Amino acid sequence: MAPTPEVTLPNAIATRLHRAARIDDAFLAWRHGRGVKRGLVPTVIPFAGYGSTTWVRVLCRVVLTKPEVAEEGARSVRGWRSFTSIPVVSSEVVVRVGDTEHTVIADRGGLVDAVVQAELPPGWQRIALSADGSEPVEAPVFIVAPDVRFGILSDIDDTVMVTALPRPFVAAWNTFVLDEHARTPVAGMAVLYERIMRDHAGAPMIYLSTGAWNVAPTLTRFLSRNLYPDGSILLTDWGPTPERIFRSGRDHKRTNLLRLAEEFPDISWLLVGDDGQHDEDLYGDFAANHPENVRAVAIRQLSASEAVLAGGRSKAEEHGGDSPPWVYAPDGAGLLERLARQGIE
């Protein structure tokens, strides 16, 4: 099912913006002006997208960087630079898929999240992105075959990566810890995903988190270094929205869950999260309203110290007899064993 192509509208078309958003826009315009005077040039930071054989969800961010950084490529924009980089608001981005070109518009934070029509074969493919005369960069996209019926959607913080921090500080940690070497993977989760993906060839792998897009390159390197399956990462953006001062992480996750159900109505997802955040509530609501799109829910149980930092934990028995099935374990090995009993391995 191909969704209607969508283009992020430029800031000028927005109607009534929240005061915080207007202040943020003015600050970004001032930074952009200073950056241009200093000789900074637009650079596209590509993110892994996904799609079907008839459309692609394009994800990238346009920022101002030094010319030498732009020449080296987007991978050189890392660590704190990704957080302090200047977004190019309402930038036109040319998406080239084969011999076809589409123009999409970046939003108030320089982020592009748009759907374009495209005919691509299943599996990992490459598309080209360029903005305001910048050199084209390649972005990976995973194309889901029409006959695929299974996928994995996973949280990141405390599900695949140990955070061990109070929840209010998680976002800051994910932004300012510069090196993926400083992050610790959750035991057994990479093996869990690899085993399941190996037995479900062509299944999409989606990592859904409330983290900021600024850290997408770092998270991608972390996942690759720790042998997690390649997949698309769906993050959010810091700063005020047109309607409110702070963005809602729960709304971000809920919106993307519903979107995936609409885009891939025939896929049943294995939803993976932890018991210290809001994953259970979100997954429970989604499973209740879209049972045909949930194969099972796997919840990683936090340790006692992690649970204290996370503000407590839920009770596993609340979902003991639910359908779709719910499984709980403290690590990937335990989840793999319990999922195998449900016929998922």
Per-residue CA distances from 230 to 113, 268, 278, 290 (Å): 19, 19, 25, 26
Burial letters for 279-311: b for 16+ Cβ neighbours within 10 Å, e otherwise?
A: bbebbbebbeebeebbbbbbbbbbeeebbebbe
User: How many percent of the chain have pLDDT more than 90?
Assistant: 52
- In a shared domain, residues 278 and 317: yes
Q: Does a structural domain hold residue 123?
A: yes
Write down which residue in 114, 143, 172 finishes a domain: 143
Look at residue 114 and tell me whether its pLDDT is greater than 90.
Answer: yes
Q: Does a structural domain hold residue 4?
A: no
Write down which residue in 143, 165, 188 finishes a domain: 143
The total number of structural domains that make up the chain: 2
Q: Does a structural domain hold residue 166?
A: yes
Q: Does a structural domain hold residue 282?
A: yes
Phi first, then psi, for residue 44 (nearest 5°) are: -95, 125
Chain centre to alpha carbon of residue 34: 30
Token digits of residue 173? 């940690």
CA distance 186 to 184: 7
The average confidence (pLDDT) of the chain is 81
Per-residue CA distances from 251 to 227, 238, 279 (Å): 29, 14, 12
- In a shared domain, residues 222 and 279: yes
- In a shared domain, residues 285 and 158: yes
- In a shared domain, residues 168 and 240: yes
Chain centre to alpha carbon of residue 8: 17
Look at residue 314 and tell me whether its pLDDT is greater than 60.
Answer: no
User: What pLDDT, in 10s, does the model give residues 128-174?
Assistant: 999 987 889 999 999 999 999 999 999 998 899 987 555 555 555 55
- In a shared domain, residues 124 and 171: no
User: What pLDDT, in 10s, does the model give residues 255-292?
Assistant: 999 999 999 999 999 999 998 768 999 999 999 999 99
Look at residue 338 and tell me whether its pLDDT is greater than 50.
Answer: yes
CA distance 170 to 123: 33
Beta carbons of 56 and 49 less than 8 angstroms apart: yes
Supply the pLDDT for residue 19: 61
User: What pLDDT, in 10s, does the model give residues 8-45?
Assistant: 434 443 445 556 556 556 656 656 566 666 768 888 99
Look at residue 112 and tell me whether its pLDDT is greater than 50.
Answer: yes
Of 22-31, 214-223, 298-307, 311-320, the poorest mean pLDDT is in 311-320
Supply the pLDDT for residue 299: 96
- In a shared domain, residues 334 and 223: yes
Please give the residue range of the domain that contains residue 47: 11-143
- Respond yes or no on whether the N-terminal peptide bond of residue 324 is cis (omega within 30° of 0): yes
Q: Please tell me the pTM assigned to this model.
A: 0.83
DSSP state of 247: -
- In a shared domain, residues 160 and 303: yes
Q: Is 72 left (phi over 0), alpha (psi -120 to 50) or beta?
A: alpha
State the pairing for strand pair 111-117/55-65. Answer: antiparallel
- In a shared domain, residues 172 and 309: yes
Q: Does a structural domain hold residue 1?
A: no
Map tokens 């006959």 to a residue: 147
- In a shared domain, residues 137 and 270: no
Look up the CATH number of the domain holding residue 164. Answer: 3.40.50.1000
Question: Starting at the edge strand that comes first in sequence, how are the strands of the sheet with 232-236 ordered?
Answer: 232-236, 205-212, 150-154, 268-274, 294-300, 326-329
Write down which residue in 115, 143, 171 finishes a domain: 143
Q: Identify which has the larger pLDDT, 87 or 6.
A: 87
- What one-letter code names the amino acid at 241? T
Chain centre to alpha carbon of residue 187: 22
Question: Reduced to 3 states, what is the DSSP secondary structure of residue 93?
Answer: strand
- In a shared domain, residues 115 and 203: no
Q: Does a structural domain hold residue 6?
A: no
Q: Does a structural domain hold residue 5?
A: no
Question: Reduced to 3 states, what is the DSSP secondary structure of residue 110?
Answer: coil
DSSP state of 13: G
Residues in the chain: 345
Beta carbons of 49 and 149 less than 8 angstroms apart: no
- In a shared domain, residues 283 and 311: yes
Look up the CATH number of the domain holding residue 32. Answer: 2.60.40
Q: Does a structural domain hold residue 2?
A: no
Question: Reduced to 3 states, what is the DSSP secondary structure of residue 298?
Answer: strand
Closest alpha carbon to 153 in 229, 102, 211: 229
User: What pLDDT, in 10s, does the model give residues 169-195?
Assistant: 555 555 555 455 557 899 999 999 999
Look at residue 75 and tell me whether its pLDDT is greater than 70.
Answer: no
Q: Identify which has the larger pLDDT, 315 or 146.
A: 146
- In a shared domain, residues 53 and 193: no
